[in-house]
Structure 1
Amino acid sequence: MSGTLKAPKKDAPSRGGVERPVRADARRNVDALLEAAMAVFATSGVDAPVREIADKAGVGVGTLYRHFPQRSDLIVAVVRNEVDACADAASDIAARYEPGEALERWVQRYVDLLATKRGLAAALHSGDPAFKSLPDYFLERMRPVFQGLLDAAARSGDIRPDVDATELLLAIARLCVPDHHGGGAEQARRMVTLLVDGLRHGAPAAPPRPSRGRR
């Protein structure tokens, strides 16, 4: 999964390696490559041909090599990009919905990240040295936003107050691993819904509160 793309290293990768300023056109190329890679990985897995990714991004293979000299560089950048998007979605969801519903909606967003991105979740736990930074990055980005949603739902009386974000993140991740019976994303969503429903057991009764409504 993390084999070399067999091209000379002309520049250090702009994502997944040491960050450095890039020109606007280079930034657009990186963004296009990340978007294309995510789409290709979702349908063909992380071992998909790099030419397919470059073609979908509308750039040459050389451009892909310049930014991501190794396949692992591209995978790391895509994982970080998707983790960032999922973590950043928490504040928007929390602003639009009551705490209990916000928690449910963000958890399903998290399930989408793990259950529908073929091979990306596996990279988090592959043991490959090329991906050794990913588990820590994942927890650093996900844990605080998830704990914030859990704390808000606990204060509102929607869930019990003794839920640990790290434990629940890992539990949900395990439920999103496909089984040998071929269980996929829909099965993962059903199982995670049951898990979240269980958080309501032992929740303290809360006084009625005015609805903020949905925007």
Structure 2
Amino acid sequence: MARELFAAADDANTPISMNEVARRAGVGVATLYRHFGTREELAEAVYLSKVEEVTERAAQRTRHGDARTALAAWSEDFASFMLAKRGMMDTLRSSWMSEDITASPIAQRIADIVAGFLRRADVDRSLRPGLDAFDVSLAVLALLTTASTDDSGPRVHRLIALFIDGLAPPTQGTERDEAGS
């Protein structure tokens, strides 16, 4: 129920209140608050299920590809989803900015997803070594903030592609000479 309400609110670009969620779910607002202390916690739970769907779709499409291809597909799908759900992006951004991002369950799940791509890259060597899952996650999230509210995301998708390309391991002959840089 909450998922549908948040989706409708996102589509209409209007916020949904905890009172409205409780009323539509047929429970008391106190019951809702016992399970979710804040609207942001409820939003994270709702959108976490959507992130799982995005992740599963990308995993199915890139099952036989390398880690960089899989990370690129997931990042593109995640960006498209987030850009379509601007209300979610605003809600989650306020949650992440008000606390340590590592304390956010959805931020932690996103970092776990990215960590899976990084582990895969340890085997296939399609991403540069030594990447931090939270750093990569934060970079993708930061790129999402470059889209204005009337932009469907072409710039974001170009920036994500550029970012993912930058995560490729250096190739022979293109590494900078440490003494000369």
Fold agreement, TM-score > 0.5:
yes
Residues 1:37 and 2:5 aligned together: yes
2:149 and 2:46 mapped to 1: Cα distance? 30
Residues 1:200 and 2:168 aligned together: yes
C-alpha spacing 1:133/1:121, structure 2 compared with 1 (3 Å) = farther
2:132 and 2:144 mapped to 1: Cα distance? 19
- Aligned 8 A contact 1:115 1:188 in 2: no
Q: Map of 1:49-64 to 2, 5 A cutoff? A: 61=24, 63=26
- Aligned 8 A contact 2:147 2:156 in 1: no
Residues 1:109 and 2:77 aligned together: yes
Deviation at 1:35, TM superposition (A): 2.8
* Aligned with 1:185 (options 131, 153, 172): 153
Q: Percent identity?
A: 16
Deviation at 1:202, TM superposition (A): 1.1
SS of the aligned residue for 1:163 comes to coil
Count of residues in correspondence between the two structures: 166
* Aligned with 2:42 (options 69, 77, 90): 77
- Aligned residue in 1 for 2:65: 98
Q: 1:78 is aligned with what amino acid?
A: A
Deviation at 1:88, TM superposition (A): 6.1
Tell me which protein shows more helix as a share of its residues.
2
- Aligned residue in 1 for 2:143: 175
Of residues 89-98 and 167-176 in structure 1, the stretch that sits farther from structure 2 once superposed is 89-98
| Unpaired segments ≥5 residues, structure 2 | 173-181
TM-score, normalised on structure 1?
Answer: 0.59
Residues 1:161 and 2:126 aligned together: no
1:36 and 1:89 mapped to 2: Cα distance? 17
1:15-46 alpha-carbon deviations (Å, 9 max, x no partner): xxxxxxxxxxxxxxxxxx22322321322234
| Unpaired segments ≥5 residues, structure 1 | 1-32, 205-215
Deviation at 1:169, TM superposition (A): 0.8
TM-score, normalised on structure 2?
Answer: 0.68
2:149 and 2:11 mapped to 1: Cα distance? 20
Cα RMSD (Å): 3.8
Deviation at 1:152, TM superposition (A): 0.9
Computing the radius of gyration from Cα coordinates, the structure with the larger value is 1
Q: Map of 1:119-130 to 2, 5 A cutoff? A: 119-126=87-94
SS of the aligned residue for 2:9 comes to helix
